[in-house]
Amino acid sequence: MAKEYSRTQRIGDQMQRELAQLIRREVKDPRVGLVTITAVDVSRDVGHAKIFITVMGVEGAEDISQTLKVLNSAAGFLRMQLGRARSNADSGDRHALPRRNITTALAR
């Protein structure tokens, strides 16, 4: 029997893929090194999400805190881009992120 995934897990998986692409392509700050999104925990009402990351290739807590600072400052931009990705996907992708509350889905 195939394992069933809840709606929030599927949304989290989609957010994880899209955020990884957005960070790699759009965040141009040199303080952001190799960032891997390890998990996305979406609330039941899809209003909030916690994003878990791993920063590779850095030495020391200061480099990691700089990366987190840059990503937190880019959170609004990333939310906007996720919303745009969702509106572009409305044309037929049934696995795309839901429109409701997508702009507030990134945790602050």
Radius of gyration of the chain (CA): 14
Domain ranges of the chain: 7-104
Q: Is it the case that residue 20 has pLDDT exceeding 90?
A: yes
Confidence of residue 2 (pLDDT cuts 50, 70, 90): low
Tell me, what's the pLDDT at 47?
A: 86
Give me the pLDDT at residue 23, please. Answer: 92
pLDDT of the residue at 59? 81
pTM passes above 0.75: no
Cα dist from 8 to 31, 64, 105, whole Å: 31, 28, 11
Average pLDDT estimate for 72-90:
83
pLDDT for residue 39: 94
Tell me which CATH homologous superfamily contains domain 7-104: K homology (KH) domain (3.30.300.20)
